[in-house]
Amino acid sequence: MGRPSKALLTRERIARAALQVVDEEGSGGLTMRALAERLGVRAASLYNHIESKDALVDTVSELVNGEIDHTPLGDADWRSGLAAYARGYRAVFLRHPNAVSLLARRRVEADNALRGYDALLALLGRAGLGPADAAEVAAALDFLVLGSALETFTAGFTREPAAYRPRYPALADALDDSFARGGGETGLDDRGFELGLRLLVDGVELRTR
């Protein structure tokens, strides 16, 4: 028998193509028809592997969550482990910012995501937090990471700092001084995230005293 002219469909291949659609076109562009066109098949063929659009989003969630490195959560130093995990978590969603709106409000069902939260809560427990406090810190970390991936503070200000000065002098001064610190287009956003992360880690330490 000759080889098939097209690569066979698999659940993983479909999920990866779906993530590409989301990355390139946003969550609104993810339809079974658009996905089928990308894969060069008929939409009906997808249902042999993915039973519904909802199930498709679940496979995308599994794929994205699979990119998050949970290894730092086993670090003996909870402070460095928590910080490294948060940076890696953010890096994944900076690669896939359109996935934030697609996944953020969904139920957490993927095993790799559940294992990640379990490891995070265990680390916070080792830091000395009780279960309820640990849950609040985990929620705060999600807000910080996903919010920073979804929104860019810097891109909201499209004028040169001097153009804001006549009516908004404090804003102009802040932008001027921040841009002088360097880091290019993402410098202010990255420093804002690092500040939030530092305050979060310090806050955990204060709660454990």
Reading the chain (209 residues) residue by residue, the pLDDT tens digits are 444 445 588 988 999 999 999 999 998 999 999 999 999 999 888 998 988 888 899 999 999 999 999 999 999 999 999 999 999 999 999 999 999 988 887 888 888 889 999 999 999 999 999 999 999 999 999 999 999 998 889 989 999 999 999 999 999 999 999 999 998 888 999 999 999 999 999 999 999 88
Task: List, as one string, the DSSP characters of 7-52.
Answer: PPP-HHHHHHHHHHHHHHH-GGG--HHHHHHHHTS-HHHHTTT--S
Residues shown for the chain: 209
Residue 108 CB neighbour total at 10 angstroms: 11
> What's this model's pTM, rounded to 2 decimal places?
0.88
CB 54, CB 61: distance < 8 Å = no
Residue 72 CB neighbour total at 10 angstroms: 21
